[in-house]
Amino acid sequence: MDIYFYNSLTRSKEKFESIAPGYVKMYVCGPTVYRYVHIGNLRTWLMADLIRRVLEYNDYAVEQIMNITDVGHMAEDDSLTITPGEDKVLAAAAAEKKTPAEIAAFYTADFLEALAEMNIKSAHQYPKATDHIPQMLALIENLERKGLAYEKSGAVYYDVSRFENYGRLSKHAQEDLQAGIHRVEIDPTKDDPNDFLLWRVAGEHRLEKWSSKWGDGFPGWHIECSAMAMHYLGSQIDLHTGGEDLLFPHHENEIAQSEGATGQPFARYWMHGAHLLAEGRKMSRSVGNVLRLKDLREQGVEPLAFRLLCLGISYHGHMNATWDSLKAAQSSLDKMRRNFTEWNNDTSTLEISNSALKNYRHKFMTAINDDLGFPQVLALISELTKDAISPAAKAMLLTEWDEVLGLRLGNPPAAPVALISSEEQSLLNQRANARDQKDFAAADRLRDQLAARGILVKDTKEGQTWSRK
């Protein structure tokens, strides 16, 4: 059965055809490791995971590369903690009084842990930008030889006027690309405001810098992905994914660099996930609505419940994560697990016709192969639940489908979910101490505080117990 994906490059849903039959080269834009990842980041990487799982379910061998940006990503508009134009990793290192390497290692570990909690498959390689400076320098020198890059005032820039198709991914015509409107770098030293940084000579006190023909310095953000993608996957790749915020300028610049250097199309299919909202607003530290998996766990919501919530909404749509929707997803996941366990433990004979099995499998394949139609898959599971076929047949089908869904229905996480926050646990401890000291007035006051937070406390012979409303 054919697979269809929406290609951001053509603005249309297209039949997927890999460069090499049965083999897919896939590049995923990974994190800039200077702070904790949040669930908005994870929704984008989940999209990439689902793409890979769908391809593998269709018997493709997928080679997936996901980069780690640990240098060169300049802040554009993160006014809360980082000055515009400042390297995000270096800024975090200064703020936390650590070395850049320590910052990168710490937040890389957080990133990988979050992927594991979400049951997102590990990439085959996680190349770090700082380990691939030679590849970036070689690419920049290639662009300079071809007249696509120029040096000026201690920096090397890409000359977008020399690349004929600049803007075709994001659909920004060159004449419409005005500085300050579409996140282009504002730098008076450039020949054109739309030209972007490839390499910058570093000041004397910069903590991280590398030798180059232009002087000791550091790479721009955009050159990193082009260099690493081509190093591991070659000059042409099948799929490139990322969030919609990367369409311009990052992915537009990747195309210009890569195709300018090779003269060949870079990626055949570009796929972008829409933003995740939190309580109706874009996640922002300045607003204070950034949610991590830790925050979900403290409210009794598993990472896999968030995965289920994402499955119910097309990756094209701006998903609104509310506490009501997250807790509803947890309830749905719990119910799905109970159903699966009941069906799987049923000892009745497998009674289902081959035509019925074929029909369900066809419906599933049709849904996932139509641009990740997972909302339709969840509707299909609801249909299956109500069907009169044997429980064993239901368990068999759901086991097959979970290879793509990634909900671990037959093997849920062993670790218990943290149902309360550290503050709530402190209140519980205080109340237990008050009971031990026979300070019943304090114990009652703390019980009321906990009840206001949705935690019901009960005293037993063995001590206090609690449950969440």
Q: What are phi and psi of 57, to 5 degrees?
A: -65, -30
Prediction pTM value: 0.85
CATH assignment, 277-405: 1.20.120
Q: Both tokens of residue 56?
A: 């593998």
Do 212 and 154 contact (CB within 8 A), yes or no? no
Distance of CA 267 to the CA centre of its chain: 19
Q: Where along the chain do the CATH 1.20.120 domains lie?
A: 277-405
* Residues 310 and 39: beta-carbon distance below 8 Å: no
- pLDDT at residue number 420: 64
Question: Cβ(299)–Cβ(323) under 8 Å?
Answer: yes
Query: What pLDDT sits at residue 141?
Result: 98
The C-alpha atoms of residue 451 and residue 456 are separated, in whole angstroms, by 5
- Residue 51's closest CA among 379, 269, 371, 381? 371
- Could you report the per-residue pLDDT of 332-347, keeping only the tens digit for each? 999 999 999 999 888 7
pLDDT of residue 249: 92
C-alpha span between 329 and 310 (Å, rounded): 9
Average pLDDT score over the chain: 89
For 276-317, write each residue's pLDDT tens digit.
Answer: 998 888 887 767 789 999 999 989 999 999 999 999 999 999
**CA–CA gap between residue 324 and residue 54 (Å, rounded):** 29
As a whole number, mean pLDDT of residues 371-395 equals 94
Of 44, 96, 37, 38, nearest to 69 by C-alpha is 37
Does residue 249 have a cis bond before it (omega within 30 degrees)? yes
Helices of type H across 37-179? 39-57, 88-96, 100-117, 133-145
Q: How far is residue 66's CA from residue 323's CA, in Å, rounded to a whole number?
A: 30
Over residues 166-191, the mean pLDDT reads: 64
Q: Considering only 120-129, 173-182, 200-209, which range has the smallest mean pLDDT?
A: 173-182
Q: Is the pLDDT of residue 228 over 90?
A: yes
Radius of gyration of the chain, Cα coordinates, nearest whole angstrom = 26
Residue 254: band (very low, low, confident or very high) from pLDDT cuts 50, 70, 90: very high
Q: If pLDDT is split at 50, 70 and 90, which confidence band does 98 have?
A: confident
Sign of CA dihedral 142, 147, 153, 155: negative
249 near 195, Cβ under 8 Å?
no
**Helix, strand, coil abundance in the chain, percent, nearest 5:** 45, 15, 40
- Location of each CATH 3.40.50.620 domain in the chain: 4-273
Q: Is the pLDDT higher at 28 or at 153?
A: 28
pLDDT digits (tens, 9 = 90+) for 385-439: 999 888 988 999 999 999 999 999 988 886 544 456 767 878 888 898 888 788 8
Structure confidence at residue 173 (pLDDT): 46
Q: Count CB atoms within 10 A of the CB of residue 429.
A: 11
Question: What pairs with residue 321 in β-bridges?
Answer: 278
Lowest mean pLDDT among 131-140, 359-368, 435-444: 435-444
The CA-atom distances, in angstroms, between 433 and each of 440, 444, 460 are 10, 12, 15
Q: Residue 79 — pLDDT band, cuts 50, 70, 90? A: very low
Q: 451 near 427, Cβ under 8 Å?
A: no
* Whole-number Cα distances in Å, 38 to 109, 111, 263: 14, 9, 37
pLDDT over 60 at 469, yes or no: no
- Per the model's pLDDT, the better-predicted residue between 458 and 124 turns out to be 124
Assigned fold of 4-273 = Rossmann fold (3.40.50)
The lowest-confidence range among 14-23, 117-126, 443-452 is: 443-452
| 179 has pLDDT over 50 | no
What is the pLDDT, as a whole number, of residue 82? 38
Q: Of 380, 313, 306, 411, give the one whose Cα is nearest residue 38.
A: 306
| DSSP secondary structure letter of residue 251 | I
Q: Do 232 and 65 form a contact (C-beta atoms < 8 A)?
A: yes
pLDDT reading at 197 higher than 80:
yes
pLDDT at 42: 97
Q: From CA 362, how far away is CA 360, in angstroms rounded?
A: 5
Specify the pLDDT at position 174: 45
